[in-house]
Amino acid sequence: MRAPARRNASGRCSNYAASVVTARTDVVGSLLRPPALLEARRRLEAGELTHAAFKEVEDRAVDEALMLQEDAGLDVVTDGEMRRLSFQSQLPAAVEMQPKPGSPADWKGWFQGRFEWGPRALGQRSILADPRRADMKDIVNTKIKFREPFRPFAPSVLAEKAAQCFDLGEAAKHYPTRFMLYVAPVTTDRAPAITHADGSSRPQAVHREFNPRYHRLIEKFGEATGVPMVLNTSFNLKGDPIVSAPADALDTFARSGMDLLLLENFVVRKSR
């Protein structure tokens, strides 16, 4: 697989050592700053334009930039893609679920993209934890959810590995498993935190094509531990609604025992 080309100061294309980014960038890079986007940014900073309106202008500029690149036959790397590469390079450390010395807990806040709608947290507004720890269910119930200790937590599992961990058969490919709507027997003894007293669980099968970033996070955790799933519960404290905006996520993170927050392209840690 060839590395994407990047223009140097002379205007020529040169390869650089980095993984090919297949995800669409969400920010126009320094290679192309259309006047409409610059004007929209000026109006945003002056308080004349809402963030939602600015995002629409930005999205249109990205689409136009990508079409220009494709029409010219170029494989240009924008600033947004470079930031995404930097974020992805931090994923192995960020998703490390092992407790660290001095760490108040080992669960992570995960805030990405648009808000879910429905009865389950599905990897957009989630608190994630290590499913291998037998005490993790009690820890999260006691310190975050403040609910009855017998209540179980559900896992998010790689769709292509779901049948290795749950007695789902072909149901792993069914539509309802994308939304945690099936209950199935757990067939591995390496995930006690998501296994109910009757040996069952309610897994979410995460497909790369529908949620590539969440899939990648679980994939990296699986590579490090041999367990291709994470404990997944909604991103909120007892009595609070699930977080919606970044400010909600930061507030909940500050008031909780979480030690790490992955907020879009940012990795947020608490100062100690």
pTM more than 0.85: no
Same domain membership, residue 83 and residue 147: no
Same domain membership, residue 31 and residue 74: yes
Same domain membership, residue 242 and residue 117: yes
Strand-pair category, 107-111 with 260-263? parallel
**How would you write the pLDDT of the chain (272 residues) with one tens digit per residue?**
333 333 333 333 333 233 333 333 333 344 446 788 888 888 988 999 898 888 888 888 777 766 665 665 555 545 555 455 555 555 555 555 554 433 434 678 999 988 888 888 999 999 999 999 988 888 888 777 777 777 789 999 999 999 999 998 877 678 899 999 999 999 999 999 999 999 999 999 999 999 988 999 999 999 989 999 999 999 998 889 999 999 999 999 998 888 889 998 888 888 76
Domain boundary among 89, 107, 135: 89
3-state SS record for 75-128: CCCCHHHHHHHHHHHHHHHHCCCCCCCCCCCCEEEEECCCCCCCCCCCCCEEEE
State the total domains in the chain.
2
Strand-pair category, 204-206 with 266-269? unpaired
Domain boundary among 89, 115, 135: 89
93-to-89, 112, 171 alpha-carbon distances in Å: 9, 18, 33
Same domain membership, residue 116 and residue 79: no
Same domain membership, residue 143 and residue 227: yes
Same domain membership, residue 245 and residue 112: yes
CATH number at residue 156: 3.90.870.20
Q: What domain range includes position 81?
A: 5-89
Same domain membership, residue 131 and residue 84: no
**CA 211 to chain CA mean position, Å:** 8
Same domain membership, residue 60 and residue 22: yes
Domain boundary among 89, 117, 141: 89
160: three-class secondary structure by DSSP: helix
Strand pairing partners for 204?
A: 156
Same domain membership, residue 124 and residue 71: no
Residue 3 near residue 20 (C-beta atoms within 8 A): yes
Same domain membership, residue 219 and residue 169: yes
**Residue among 230, 224, 225, 235 nearest 258 (CA):** 235
pLDDT for position 93: 55
pLDDT for position 1: 33
141-to-37, 102, 203, 241 alpha-carbon distances in Å: 46, 21, 18, 16
pLDDT for position 87: 55
Q: Tell me the one-letter amino acid at 76.
A: V
For residues 217 and 221, give the distance between their C-alpha atoms in angstroms, rounded to a whole number. Answer: 6
pLDDT for position 73: 57
Same domain membership, residue 235 and residue 220: yes
Same domain membership, residue 230 and residue 150: yes
DSSP 16-81: -SSPPP-SPPSS--TT---HHHHHHHHHHHTTSS-HHHHHHHHHHHHHHHHHHHHHHT--PPPHHH
